[in-house]
Structure 1
Amino acid sequence: MTGDVAVLGAGMHPWGKWGRSFVEYGTAAARAALADAGIGWRDVQSVVGADTVRGGYPGYVAGATFAKALGWQGARVTSVYAACASGAQAIATARAQILAGLADVVLVVGADAAPKGFFRPAGGDRPDDPDWLRFRVLGATNPTYFGLYARRRMAVHGDTLEDFAQVKVKNAACGALNPHARYRTAVSAEEVAASAVVADPLRLLDICATSDGGASLVLSSMEFARRHGATDPVRIRAVSTVTPTYPNTVLDLPDIATDSAAGVEPDGASFRSSIARAAYEEAGIGPEELSLAEVYDLSTALELQWYEDLGLCAEGAAAKLLREGATAPGGRIPVNVSGGLASFGEAVPAQAIAQVCELTWQLRGTAGARQVTGARVGITANQGLFGHGSSVVAVR
């Protein structure tokens, strides 16, 4: 049995700060995806919702929430949570249902209404969660983490502030062409350098914002797609949702259960490279076959790291790849032609779905002014708290 499923429809609610319920954003995105697919809501046999922890109880049962908002019609519902990887896990769940023969048509929806400023840890105390420990023991908020990562790249690979700024310049130029993006204004390197320091060496314009927004996909079996008249649809070829293989660390802290015997030797690969490797292996492709990539640019320095972890260049060569223009539109391997999180901000359950929406439009050749010429294969890369990784490979 082939592992491909068809992407019949893609839809989004524009990102921004709209001050309304996540349900409204997700419902609008779902209706746009259904219209794009040319099918009715009653044709949908399953709904998979990516959960938001900020939407109260409806956010924890997002599949049922969106099914109710669209009008209960008997579809099965599933709700998934994987922090920033929630959207990819929702896609993986929908794909599994289709390949198992449980449904021919599945609607995937994610949406969020984000608070201003830092995301506060949700779910109470989590002393077994390394991210919670980072917040509480180190006092390292996400921008602090990003800053430390940037400093490491500067020390190990020689990246510069100018390199980081050029990532923002590139992504802002792409975002200016995207009607769904929150920020649609080009930015200069001088403006990045002049923005406020948030977590040295990163400036305000090096770090993504928090946003409201929604994204949705209509996925189907290849047989249904052909019956529906879609003879050459975009296809999801692989979904990777792997966890890290780092060794466990024994910590001398109270109330933390550790087991040094459970530790494993590191294999030399980072978590992010493991995410990509699993996607490549399942899809049966290598990075040299990619037409474009959509990656999780929480900060400019982290986008550079993805270049290496996706195998777009050798370790330490990301800044060189950027300087050569290889990751810009028209380059060898354009990255974040959507504008990335730099232009959208984080709407957590929606962002991994939004990445696949962009791949869909690019592979169809309908991305307008930001179209990558001749795009045939695309990859997404994302990660969430508590060891959630995700990558999706789409082809045409």
Structure 2
Amino acid sequence: MNDIAVLGAGMHPWGKWGRSFVRYGTAAARAALADAGLDWTDVGSVVGANTMRCGYPGYVAGATFAQALGWQGARVTSVYAACASGAQAIGTARTQILAGLADVVLVVGADATPKGFLAPAGGERPDDPDWLRFRVLGATNPAYFALYARRRMALYGDTPEDFAQVKVKNAAAGALNPLARYRARVSADEVAASAVVADPLRLLDICATSDGGAALVLSSMEFARRHGHPDPVRVRAVSTVSPTYPKTVLDLPDIATDSAVALPPPPHGFRASIARAAYEEAGLGPEDLSLAEVYDLSTALELEWYEDIGLCAAGEGAKLLREGATALGGRLPVNTSGGLASFGEAVPAQAIAQVCELTWQLRGTAGDRQVPGARAGITANQGLFGHGSAVVAVR
């Protein structure tokens, strides 16, 4: 096993604070170091998840956070993979640890987002399916999410009431999380009464944009044992797979791509392949999970993830939800943190925040939202331009 130890987890609360992303990231980093019982000078490497919205410092996040914490000679790395940035930063840190380049690595992600839709960054990208979706189709993310929702309604009989129940579930968990931006329970009637954004999705079906930060202190297992952590939470797998032609990030079977090699269509879509690679590396399966943190950009998309990470067969996500299996107290709770429904998007931080939640759950320190006896969990999300990510953590 290529396990590494999670010695510390820390976050800056999500919200709209009007401050620099550096402030959020350093606050999260200091919290993670305190949780690990280590000093900043113990860190041999810093991996920063980049934010494209925050100017030059955001493009060199690793060095930016190292400077803010006080330069002490640590190796620095900066990683960008849109919404998958945090998980790919964790993967980079793990590689450095397993290669013997550092015993202790600090992973940090933070963002300060504007109000409203996130505008595409980086100029024109005519070879990027997501950029083409924005420019050619005029399909902002909510419109894209609505297409997924409509497809579920047509194929599987899902209803807007099912989507609303995802928000109800996640808001109930978020109400118990002091780090969440939205901490009020929500009823299905309140979801149905909120404004239509992209039919059939309403305002409360779609996550907000937020400021926030998250950080992890990771180490080799040998370092953990030498420093009084004989049984830490462990990262067992990090999946950062890309799509396979012709199943692209859009998960449609016939879209054209400029691929040099045409392979037979895979049996599953891109998101399913993200989780499958993580399970294979971890030597675990969905049946071994205690909980999952998935990328609920919209309520309907969360139901897709149930199927993609193998909790149920295709088309059975809403059934799993109706049975209460994915709620706190259910057979396999999903988004015990409250998810993006309760936090909103702070893009470079959110995949790291997912692993923070797994860490607290696997330690048994998640308070009122604790999953009893949690032993293994998975995170899952995807980013622009075919970035996928999933992390498996165990205790």
Interval of TM-score (by shorter of Structure 1 and Structure 2): over 0.9
Distance 1:76 1:316 in 2: 46
User: What is the CA distance between 1:265 and its match in structure 2?
Assistant: 2.3
User: What is the CA distance between 1:230 and its match in structure 2?
Assistant: 0.4
Q: Please list the CA deviations of residues 215-249 of structure 1 after superposition, one character each: whole Å capped at 9, or x if unmatched.
A: 00000000000011001100000000000013189
Distance 2:328 2:10 in 1: 23
Residue aligning to 1:244 = 243
Distance 2:260 2:147 in 1: 30
User: What is the CA distance between 1:264 and its match in structure 2?
Assistant: 2.4
Residue aligning to 1:197 = 196
Distance 2:208 2:264 in 1: 36
User: What is the CA distance between 1:3 and its match in structure 2?
Assistant: 0.3
Residue aligning to 2:116 = 117
What SS does the corresponding residue of 2:184 show, helix, strand or coil?
A: coil
CA contact (8 A) 2:326 2:333 kept: yes
Hey, which bits of structure 1, 4+ residues long, moved more than 4 A?
A: 257-261
Q: Please list the CA deviations of residues 175-227 of structure 1 after superposition, one character each: whole Å capped at 9, or x if unmatched.
A: 00000000000000000000000000000000000000000000000000001
| Paired AA for residue 286 in structure 1 | G
What SS does the corresponding residue of 1:265 show, helix, strand or coil?
A: coil
Determine if the alignment matches structure 1 residue 184 to structure 2 residue 183.
yes
| Paired AA for residue 310 in structure 1 | I
Q: Please list the CA deviations of residues 364-396 of structure 1 after superposition, one character each: whole Å capped at 9, or x if unmatched.
A: 000000000000000000100000000000000
Determine if the alignment matches structure 1 residue 230 to structure 2 residue 229.
yes
Residue aligning to 1:386 = 385
Distance 1:347 1:259 in 2: 31
Distance 1:169 1:324 in 2: 14
Residue aligning to 1:252 = none
Determine if the alignment matches structure 1 residue 360 to structure 2 residue 329.
no
CA contact (8 A) 2:168 2:186 kept: yes
Distance 2:11 2:319 in 1: 34
Residue aligning to 2:69 = 70
Determine if the alignment matches structure 1 residue 332 to structure 2 residue 326.
no
Residue aligning to 1:299 = 298
User: What is the CA distance between 1:361 and its match in structure 2?
Assistant: 0.1
Residue aligning to 1:108 = 107
Residue aligning to 2:127 = 128
Distance 2:138 2:267 in 1: 28
What SS does the corresponding residue of 1:49 show, helix, strand or coil?
A: strand
Q: 1:136 to 1:372 in 2, by over 3 A?
A: same
| Paired AA for residue 280 in structure 1 | Y
Q: Which runs of 5+ in 1 are unaligned?
A: 250-256
Residue aligning to 2:252 = none
Residue aligning to 2:35 = 36
| Paired AA for residue 277 in structure 1 | R
Q: How does 1:211-226 map to 2 (within 5 A)?
A: 211-226=210-225
Cα RMSD after superposing both structures = 1.1
Distance 2:246 2:149 in 1: 23
Residue aligning to 1:376 = 375
Q: Please list the CA deviations of residues 23-48 of structure 1 after superposition, one character each: whole Å capped at 9, or x if unmatched.
A: 00000000000000000000000000
CA contact (8 A) 1:53 1:60 kept: yes
Distance 1:76 1:183 in 2: 36
Residue aligning to 2:251 = none
Q: TM-score, normalised by structure 1?
A: 0.97
What SS does the corresponding residue of 1:386 show, helix, strand or coil?
A: helix
Residue aligning to 2:253 = none
User: What is the CA distance between 1:268 and its match in structure 2?
Assistant: 2.0
| Paired AA for residue 89 in structure 1 | Q
What SS does the corresponding residue of 2:296 show, helix, strand or coil?
A: coil
Distance 1:324 1:259 in 2: 43
Residue aligning to 1:91 = 90
Residue aligning to 1:254 = none
Residue aligning to 1:253 = none
Q: How does 1:282-297 map to 2 (within 5 A)?
A: 282-297=281-296
What SS does the corresponding residue of 2:385 show, helix, strand or coil?
A: coil
| Paired AA for residue 25 in structure 2 | G
Q: Please list the CA deviations of residues 239-293 of structure 1 after superposition, one character each: whole Å capped at 9, or x if unmatched.
A: 00000013189xxxxxxx9657633221121100000000000000010000000
User: What is the CA distance between 1:330 and its match in structure 2?
Assistant: 1.1
CA contact (8 A) 1:86 1:349 kept: yes
Residue aligning to 2:48 = 49
Q: Please list the CA deviations of residues 7-60 of structure 1 after superposition, one character each: whole Å capped at 9, or x if unmatched.
A: 000000000000000000000000000000000000000000000001100000
Determine if the alignment matches structure 1 residue 145 to structure 2 residue 144.
yes
Distance 2:139 2:197 in 1: 12
Q: Please list the CA deviations of residues 74-112 of structure 1 after superposition, one character each: whole Å capped at 9, or x if unmatched.
A: 000000000000000000000000000000000000000
Determine if the alignment matches structure 1 residue 163 to structure 2 residue 174.
no
Distance 1:335 1:144 in 2: 24
Distance 1:261 1:91 in 2: 30
| Paired AA for residue 161 in structure 1 | P
CA contact (8 A) 1:196 1:204 kept: yes
| Paired AA for residue 44 in structure 1 | V
Distance 1:180 1:356 in 2: 14
CA contact (8 A) 2:245 2:257 kept: no
What SS does the corresponding residue of 1:159 show, helix, strand or coil?
A: coil
| Paired AA for residue 138 in structure 2 | G
Residue aligning to 1:206 = 205
Residue aligning to 2:19 = 20
What SS does the corresponding residue of 2:151 show, helix, strand or coil?
A: helix
CA contact (8 A) 1:248 1:263 kept: no
| Paired AA for residue 165 in structure 1 | A
CA contact (8 A) 1:298 1:341 kept: yes
What SS does the corresponding residue of 1:374 show, helix, strand or coil?
A: coil
| Paired AA for residue 272 in structure 2 | S
Distance 1:90 1:172 in 2: 28
Distance 1:157 1:352 in 2: 29
